[in-house]
Structure 1
Amino acid sequence: MTPYEVESLEALDALLARPNGSFHHARLQGLELRQRERELLARNDFQGVVVLGGGITKPLAEHLRHHGAVIFEDDPSLPVPSFRSALYGYAELYDGLLEAGYEHTPDARAYHWSRDTTLTGDAYATLQRAIHDDCISDALAEWVEGRVVVGVMGGHAVQRGTPAFEDAARLGARLADAGATVVTGGGPGAMEAANLGALLGDNDALRRALLDLAGEPDFARSIDAWAATAWKVRSRHAPAVSHRSLGIPTWFYGHEPPNLFGSAVAKYFSNALREDILLAICNGGIVVLPGAAGTVQEIFQVTTRLYYAAEPGPPLVLVGRTQWTETVPVWPVLEALGARSPLGQSIHLVDTIDEAAQILLTPSG
């Protein structure tokens, strides 16, 4: 029998309602099994079952093992659970922010754990981080399945209250209002703005949010104040729509806190894995706003994909002619590569976010 994942208590309840034998080869991932202990203790059909993290009591674990299950328990000493079945939400990563400050949140603790020099070369720590990132990738694939995903890349140094921040927010709003899921690198600056705009849409709530955020323009001055302002905005304006805005940050850049405006957050320990997946899921195209080294890296990563593709891929739109032809002159390189490959039919250089949005939202690209 092919293994299959059970990632919610509702799915577990559906299995419990079936005849004996239905549990064979199930993967129970990140479930609070203590809430179904009585029902599980009443069964013995667990051959080939694998329990991946979650909550479990000692008697239940012994019962499952006795009847054929393999159990991998979460390590409570770790800052975030390794076996998880869903992406993060902002409230989970920033838990404790308003009471104790950013340094006491799971996000900050995970960063410090990942940078702990005493764990360098520790096979156990490396394994836990790899398991975590694999679970995030699995959850992310399920989250974006069947959706048009458009990436917005740009610099982390763009400050709230500036025209560049507002432009990125308007771009995110326009793309999401047209039905796209907007994905960014999940950090501050242009990434935060695009996630904010996508989450709220082009409306009065977005305009008020932009004004509210401008009071704390830069995370470099105080992550506590920067994040607390965003928390208040998110709490006040949180919409019911759940798949408009996605952030994919990394603990590799620990000095850059994740923004709070993704409908969901896929946070990775491995930046290499995160970068590759972030660009790979953008089936609706990518807009690149002005940025520095990290943004340039993303341009050439996606360029490599488009250059070696058998046919033209989704649009890659660079915004800012002066930025990309003079300040950081990558555009001539893209043109030269595009002259010899399908890349040439995918790349665009424009001056405004309105032009970028028009290219991405035109069916022909």
Structure 2
Amino acid sequence: MMRIERRQGAVVLRGAEHEAPTADQALLDSPEPDWQHNDPWRVLRIQAEFVEGFDALSQLPSAVSVFGSARTTPDQPMYKNAELLGRRLTEAGFAVITGGGPGVMEAANKGALEADGLSVGLGIELPFEQGLNAYVSLGVNFRYFFARKTMFLKYSRGFIAMPGGFGTFDELFEALTLIQTKKVTHFPVVLFGTEFWCGLLDWVRGSVQQGGFISDGDLDLVTITDDIDEAVAAMGLPNGSVG
């Protein structure tokens, strides 16, 4: 009988223990009466998570992160596109990083692995554990979203966002914010799937840009395309130069 489980770092939680709060939830909930004793210990756990991530990924070659929906199924065109994208990125000399889950993430990892590339998955503890997909060759599981996000940004040459939900939007807008504020430089961002993304860009141009909330050149940070070769070319070259 299959039992629902999730991982919390090196710990596997099943049954009644599965209902325990995730690490992020425990951290972000209202302060506990005994916070003076609990939160300092969390700092050590967070520190260890950064050390583990840096150690695991320190020798990673130039890499590109691919984001997209975990709900995309293998029979859908976007799954096939993500699989081909993972292959093309590998052939161009990049490692491929995803969130390690199913859907678009699985497809990009599959394309990279089957092209004999380095296929990386950065997993996250969730109430209902998905686990890393079978096509990840180097996987790291995180308790905390902010630690995981740091790894995506530190070890990626650029981002390619395929159709997805809130998680994809979160990663996209965080990257754009860091680029806009020059916290990161030379960091290309591609939106793959014009039909999906055009409505968002129309809103940004019509409500955000015309309202004066961003500068006119800020949308130059993004390439939108349906062409896999164009998406890969936008990442530049693995040695760091931009095409």
Fold in common (TM above 0.5) = yes
Residue type of the partner of 1:339?
A: D
Please say if residues 111 and 254 of structure 1, whose CA atoms lie closer than 8 Å, have aligned partners that are also in contact: no
The one of 217, 223, 245 aligned to 2:119: 245
Please say if residues 149 and 182 of structure 1, whose CA atoms lie closer than 8 Å, have aligned partners that are also in contact: yes
User: Residues 261 and 111 from structure 1, CA distance in 2 versus in 1: closer, same or farther, beyond 3 angstroms?
Assistant: farther
User: Residues 109 and 322 from structure 1, CA distance in 2 versus in 1: closer, same or farther, beyond 3 angstroms?
Assistant: same
| Equivalent in the alignment of 1:325 | 198
Shift of residue 272, structure 1, vs aligned partner: 2.9
Local SS of the residue matching 1:261: coil
Q: Percent identity?
A: 25
The one of 201, 216, 221 aligned to 1:346: 221
User: Residues 171 and 148 from structure 1, CA distance in 2 versus in 1: closer, same or farther, beyond 3 angstroms?
Assistant: same
The one of 121, 127, 137 aligned to 2:50: 137
User: Residues 246 and 330 from structure 1, CA distance in 2 versus in 1: closer, same or farther, beyond 3 angstroms?
Assistant: same
Aligned CA-pair RMSD:
3.3
The one of 96, 105, 109 aligned to 2:12: 109
Shift of residue 306, structure 1, vs aligned partner: 0.5
CA distance in 1, matches of 2:88, 2:46: 31
Say how many residue pairs are matched. Answer: 220
| Equivalent in the alignment of 1:295 | 168
Shift of residue 135, structure 1, vs aligned partner: 3.1
| Equivalent in the alignment of 1:200 | 114
**TM-score relative to the length of structure 2:** 0.75
Residue type of the partner of 1:357?
A: V
User: Residues 257 and 127 from structure 1, CA distance in 2 versus in 1: closer, same or farther, beyond 3 angstroms?
Assistant: farther
Superposed, 1:1-365 pairs within 5 Å as 101=2, 103=4, 109-110=12-13, 113=17, 115-116=19-20, 131-145=44-58, 147-201=61-115, 244-252=118-126, 254-282=128-156, 284-309=157-182, 312-326=185-199, 329-330=200-201, 332-333=203-204, 336=209, 337=214, 339-340=216-217, 343-362=218-237, 363-365=241-243
Residue type of the partner of 1:139?
A: E
Shift of residue 331, structure 1, vs aligned partner: 6.0
Residue type of the partner of 1:197?
A: G
Query: More strand by proportion, 1 or 2?
Result: 2
Higher relative contact order (CA 8 A, sep 6+): 2
User: Residues 316 and 138 from structure 1, CA distance in 2 versus in 1: closer, same or farther, beyond 3 angstroms?
Assistant: same
| Equivalent in the alignment of 1:14 | none
Write out per-residue CA displacement over residues 72-96 of structure 1, whole angstroms, 9 at most, x where no aligned residue. xxxxxxxxxxxxxxxxxxxxxxxxx
Shift of residue 116, structure 1, vs aligned partner: 0.9
CA distance in 2, matches of 1:130, 1:101: 34
Write out per-residue CA displacement over residues 18-47 of structure 1, whole angstroms, 9 at most, x where no aligned residue. xxxxxxxxxxxxxxxxxxxxxxxxxxxxxx
Write out per-residue CA displacement over residues 39-67 of structure 1, whole angstroms, 9 at most, x where no aligned residue. xxxxxxxxxxxxxxxxxxxxxxxxxxxxx
Shift of residue 127, structure 1, vs aligned partner: 7.0
CA distance in 2, matches of 1:150, 1:190: 14
**TM-score relative to the length of structure 1:** 0.52
CA distance in 1, matches of 2:151, 2:233: 25
Please identify the structure whose Cα radius of gyration is greater: 1
Local SS of the residue matching 1:323: helix
Residue type of the partner of 2:221?
A: S
Local SS of the residue matching 2:141: coil
Shift of residue 292, structure 1, vs aligned partner: 1.4
Shift of residue 125, structure 1, vs aligned partner: 8.1
CA distance in 1, matches of 2:119, 2:137: 5
